[in-house]
Amino acid sequence: MKIINIVGARPNFMKIAPLMREMQAHPELEPVLLHTGQHYDANMSQIFFDELGIPRPEINLGVGSGSHAWQTAQIMLRFDPVLLEQRPDWVLVLGDVNSTVACSLVAAKRHIPVAHVEAGVRSFDRTMPEEINRIVTDALADLLFTPSRQADKNLRQEGIPAEKIYFTGNIMVDTLLQSAEIAAQRKTWARWNLPPQGYAVLTLHRPVNVDNPDVLTRLVDTLAQVANQLPLVWPLHPRVARRLSEFGLLPRLKAVPGLLAVEPLGYLDFLSLLTQAKMVLTDSGGIQTETSVLGVPCLTLRENTEWPVTLSEGTNTLVGTDSRRILHETQRILDGESKAGRVPERWDGQTARRIVNVLLEQIV
């Protein structure tokens, strides 16, 4: 059974690594890896293939950056002839990036079945482009592999037949558990002479947080106050760095000794940094899940999350962009009052095996 596996952006790379390994262990399967080129910068793409042992993609669409509409259209235009040439039995897509929805649309119109890994995840906020991508992809998919019981419930409420839904767990955790020991040995925190448990980690990339100068200015000022209490390591997404420059905020960053703005990190270096952080501040969905598995307190700089299980069972707390809430919850963590949390059901490193077992059942 020939399966074209779609990756395009940084979150996909951690998810595809265990799946490719598991597929390659079964001679009945012919996995083909396709990179749309949605993320193409070496620090955002190639380093993940190298560190995670992902095979070189057989096909690269080389799309590059652009608006959501342009990027989605270019992926569709370039993916369609690939389907006609390759004639796969299945197309497997991951997560919620533009590559996910674009390739699902093309495959569905060519009557090629689609499998969606990380299906049913919902923030219920349609101002997020990712939410639109999730809804459309799940409506088109023939197999929906979910990371939580809540995701199953979301899909059933949207009218997805139960026989298409498989609760397989969180694929990101497979990679995290496989990589944690190697990552810990890197001791990334030592680059900045920081002690274990003696620093916080920050990531920002959501347009709602970084594209509005008022919001980003408020966040920078608030995070400077956090950094005055605890050194704050901030790997800067390239687009965020451009916004900070455009809005004249770089001098404010440089004026705070404890606010360490650094280049983007590879997966293993970043995971190493997470493992020994006192706390994490982020607007990333993936990092909310990783911190819950690692038992690291996480403050999410958003008003909603597509991962509610990290709130009810994990170590995550929603704080939005309100300075008082951020500083109050930061102080609680520093005072030792953070959530204990526990690892959610089936976040056990066996998700790839469960997914591939379902795919094997589709062979006729």
Catalytic sites, residue numbers: 205
In our burial notation (b when 16+ CB lie closer than 10 A, e otherwise), range 118-130 reads bbbbbbeeeebbb
Helices and strands (DSSP H and E) totals, the chain: 16, 13
Residue 259 pairs with which residues in a beta bridge?
232
The sign one gets for the Cα dihedral 285, 325, 246, 267 is negative
Distance, C-alpha 232 to centroid of its chain: 21
Give me the phi and psi of 111, to 5 degrees please.
Answer: 60, 35
CB contact at 8 A, 215 and 183: no
The DSSP secondary-structure symbol of 88 reads: -
CA dihedral 343, 289, 294, 9 (to 10 degrees): 140
At 49, list the tokens.
Answer: 């293939």
DSSP labels, 313-336:
TSSEEE-TT-HHHHHHHHHHHHTT
The sign one gets for the Cα dihedral 12, 15, 19, 21 is positive
At 138, list the tokens.
Answer: 């799940």
Nearest to 41 by CA among 242, 326, 250, 320: 242
